[in-house]
Amino acid sequence: MSWKSKRSLKEKFALKNSLAKEALSEFLGTFILIALGCGCVGQDVLSRGAYGGPMTVSLGFAMAVTIAVYVSGGVSGGHINPAISLAMCVTGRLKWTKLPIYILAQFLGAFVGAVAVFGIYYDAFMEYSNGILEVTGPNATAHIFATYPAPYLSLINGFADQWLCHEPSQGFGPKALHSHRRMGDGSIHSWK
């Protein structure tokens, strides 16, 4: 095989459609976020705290977000969250026609990431829960993949927690700390 034929073979399999590249990037980024992040939670919960704790979960999720954004940021912006993609559409930084594709790619990436965590920890899940997977109770495992409000939390306090406390830190925190961010390809993307 000559060098020229190798090159043409590579070109045959290269993605030419920029939207397909962006969708694949969002899929991969979201997959990494869920597989690494929920994997940290799974290790902590399923080992009953023997191989993890709040610090390892926090650091693990932080690293998962960092790696996911770093991997996908140079191609699609590294949204890895439908809420961020929607916000980018509202602010005019992403075309509305791309939003359904981004959300679908993120959904599929998250689902495949969760399936990977469940598959990797399948034996631990079965031993931990005696084969009965529950959302609540002493052997609950659903909180590995999602968060649930405490039974005492009212609707108003839940709204206040999510919108008044978390939303400003998610939207304004990064912008206040950094006016620019560096992506994996060496380019700088402005938050402006």
pLDDT band at 177 (very low <50, low <70, confident <90, very high): very low
Distances (CA, A) of 50 to 44, 54, 58, 125: 7, 12, 16, 15
User: CA 139: distance to chain centroid?
Assistant: 25
CATH topology of domain 19-147: Glycerol uptake facilitator protein (1.20.1080)
pLDDT in tens, 64-99: 999 999 999 889 888 999 988 998 899 888 999 999
Alpha-carbon radius of gyration of the chain: 20
Q: What does the CA dihedral 150, 155, 159, 161 come to, rounded to 10 degrees?
A: -30
Render pLDDT for 13-54 as a digit per residue (tens, 0 to 9).
777 888 999 999 999 999 999 999 999 999 999 999 899 899
Both tokens assigned to 99: 């939003």
Distance set, CA 132 to CA 137, 140, 142, 149 (Å): 11, 9, 11, 22
Domain chopping of the chain, boundaries = 19-147, 149-192
Asked if the model's pLDDT at residue 191 lies above 50, the reply is no
Tell me: the pLDDT tens digits for 129-142?
A: 998 998 888 888 99
- pLDDT score for 119: 97
- Token digits of residue 104: 């679908």
pLDDT greater than 70 at residue 147: yes
Residue 165 pLDDT: 67
Q: Supply the pLDDT for residue 173.
A: 46
Any alpha helices (H) in the chain, and if so which ranges?
3-13, 18-46, 54-76, 82-90, 99-120, 122-129, 155-159, 167-171, 173-177
**124 or 191: whose pLDDT is higher?**
124
Report which DSSP code applies to 139: T
